[in-house]
A and B are shown apart, each in its own frame.
Chain A
Amino acid sequence: MNLDFEQPIIELEQKLALMKSQLGANDNQNPAISTAIKTLEDEILKLKKETYQNLTRWQKVQLSRHPDRPYTLDYIENICDEFIELHGDRNFSDDLAMVGGLGTIEGKSIMFVGQQKGRNTKQRQLRNFGMANPEGYRKALRLMKIAEKFNKPIVTLIDTPGAFPGIEAEQRGQAEAIARNIQEMFKLKVPVICIIIGEGASGGALGIAVGDQVLMLENAWYSVISPENCSAILWRTWDYKEQAAQALKLTAQDMLGFKLIDGIIPEPLGGAHTDPLSAYQAVKQAILQTIDNLEKISPQERISQRIDKFDNMGVVNE
């Protein structure tokens, strides 16, 4: 599936591929041919830059949800030399919308936690579209406490359209589970890095997103509500999702400007899905460097900086 603004680029890329495929072994020596190829390549690059440097907020939301975009386990499996997945909340069940486990990067052990989306219909249902239930949040907290116990840094990867709104979710205390996580994450003695890799919707995202460093991928979004639901509430229809995305100012660049996040991890031109290996590399480097910086600070100092940072969020008149 291609997004509408991807289409012209993809068409040019197909044309380029076709041109190249029709070349014989000696055709490269013809300067006219190599010039034509170079011209087309330049044209593609120019169009890509024009397109991706001028994306609207809604187009970024579309990119964040691109069906080929790497998900949490894609990052973990491609970043880690070794990964052991850990399951269950020890109380009710194993929520497949929330995954976690211990991994190593360059010999360093890290606890990973994150929402997981599915790529095909069956997987999407299995992962509940990345919408965790209370047991998912409790599983996440359990793993984070294990990390604290064994003095390992924590990396959370956020990618959710929201915590699941269902009967059982309410019955088992969705609100309590999220509130508990938010509060407990402030007290963790180990470094906590949170990366919004796709969608960061509301309390369902924040439930694993209280950290010393909160980073966003370049084309991720993070806000109090999705553009669709915002539109439904304010305009009583889903049709104003583009206006809602504009009004919510939910992009990584917006959020950094408001100082509600600490940094942006650049994506390859065209988005993470066009060159996943580069995206994995960028995330891996960000994790290693951030852990390195955070480990220079004492646990007490980290906690008080973490609290102060969130305490300063908000703008009021008085």
Chain B
Amino acid sequence: MAWFNRKEQGITTPTTEKKETPDGLWYKCPECKYLTPSSEHKYYAYTCISCGYHERIGSQEYFEILFDEEQFTELDTNMYSADPLQFVDSKPYPKRIATTMDNSGLKDAVRCAYGKMNGIDITVACMDFGFIGGSMGSVVGEKIARAIEYALQHKTPLIIISRSGGARMQEAGYSLMQLAKTSAKLALLAEAKVPYISLMTDPTTGGVSASYAMLGDFNTAEPKALIGFAGPRVIRETIGKDLPKGFQTSEYLLEHGFLDFIVERKNLKAKYTALLKMLK
């Protein structure tokens, strides 16, 4: 299987986050209930070999999938959230951040790294949905802006993997301005003719879809991901009607002209490599 040939290797980054499986040994597909050994599920890039269901994985898994020999160098590993608004809902924002950090082993909803993909130098920013719904506040915006800056400085193609419910409410106005900040940086990258591939995964909505996720030279998505500006619940409540079947899926966006292609995760590395080689 040339498309996905990699060896089990020790993890080379400090993060210890691991995808949970039912008992660590088996993976049960939530879609078709097919049971498969966890090692095999990992080998197929965390997709179901029976029905193709793409498990919601995080940055660690994507980095291992994309980077050669799972080797990469992470950028801005120490950045974490401030509380510029002193925001309190059911609990104070800093408390929410601290709890989420403890539970997820992550600092915020994005990690950025550089390394080689089939020998090509690349920079990758990958969102983690497990961190407050992958929401974008100042940290996500700043880390992505710096990853773009890194790609620009080193002239490496950029891949941003989005998985987010949108902007983070607890940073209000600051979160909104991250749409502008990241889009501005991407404009500079585009001007320098450095390729940018956007990968939208389940889900990509709100402020993330209305900024960097939709601004790729190549807009791509995993199969059956939910992608849109407004969430389905909001739309349903606004128009007071049920939504058509397949609405706001990757396939729907492809049909309406907003994606270049849909790519199965197990083919991701090979397809992106082929695409970037053609641009050389």
Please report A residues at the B interface, Cβ cutoff 8 Å.
163-167, 169-176, 178-180, 182-183, 186-187, 202-203, 206-207, 210, 222-225, 229-230, 233-235, 247-250, 254-255, 258, 260, 306-307, 310-311, 313-318
Contacts and interface: CB of A to CB of B under 8 A. Distances in A.
A182 B76 contact: no
B125 interface: no
B172 A223 contact: yes
A87 to B, nearest CB: 24
A179 B85 contact: no
A167 B243 contact: yes
B228 interface: yes
A247 B247 contact: no
Interface string B66-96: 0000000000101111101101111000000
B246 to A, nearest CB: 12
A314 B247 CA distance: 34
A10 B187 CA distance: 51
Contact of A166 (B137, B211, B235): B235
A270 B87 CA distance: 29
A167 B169 contact: no
26 contacts: A165-B234, A167-B241, A169-B230, A171-B256, A173-B258, A176-B214, A176-B258, A178-B229, A179-B211, A186-B183, A202-B176, A202-B207, A203-B207, A222-B173, A222-B176, A224-B168, A235-B90, A247-B172, A248-B85, A258-B173, A310-B180, A310-B181, A315-B82, A315-B174, A316-B79, A318-B76
Given A182-B179, A186-B184, A210-B180, A167 B247 contact: yes
A179 B247 CA distance: 20
B263 interface: no
Nearest to B256: A171
Given A182-B183, A183-B187, A187-B187, A206 B244 contact: no
A206 B76 CA distance: 28
Given A249-B173, A254-B173, A173 B256 contact: yes
B201 to A, nearest CB: 15
B47 interface: no
Interface stretch (B30-38, B48-56, B139-147): B139-147
Contact of A314 (B169, B178, B215): B178
Interface in B227-275: 227-230, 234-235, 238-239, 241, 243-244, 247-248, 252, 256-258
A62 B43 CA distance: 56
B59 interface: no
Contacts of B186: 183
A174 B141 CA distance: 21
A258 B235 CA distance: 32
B120 interface: no
B181 A311 contact: yes
A166 B239 contact: yes
The 10 A-B residue pairs with the shortest CB-CB distance in the complex, in nearest-first order? A165-B230, A314-B138, A175-B209, A174-B229, A175-B229, A313-B177, A224-B176, A179-B214, A203-B210, A315-B84
A254 B84 CA distance: 11
B206 to A, nearest CB: 7
B179 A316 contact: no
B185 interface: yes
Most buried by A among B80, B214, B248: B214
B257 to A, nearest CB: 8
A235 B169 CA distance: 13
Contacts of B241: 167
A94 to B, nearest CB: 21
B220 interface: no
Most buried by A among B137, B177, B186: B177
B156 interface: no
Given A172-B256, A247-B89, 7 more contacts: A167-B244, A176-B214, A223-B173, A249-B85, A250-B172, A260-B174, A317-B82
Nearest to A247: B87
Contact of B229 (A203, A247, A249): A203
Nearest to A249: B85
B213 interface: yes
A206 to B, nearest CB: 6
B188 interface: yes
B80 A170 contact: no
Interface in B194-235: 205-207, 209-215, 227-230, 234-235
Given A175-B229, A234-B89, A234-B90, A170 B176 contact: no
B167 A307 contact: no
A310 B174 CA distance: 10
B214 to A, nearest CB: 4
Contacts of B213: 175, 179
B175 interface: yes
A182 B211 contact: yes
Contacts of A169: 229-230
A170 B248 contact: yes
B185 to A, nearest CB: 7
A164 B214 CA distance: 18
B84 A311 contact: no
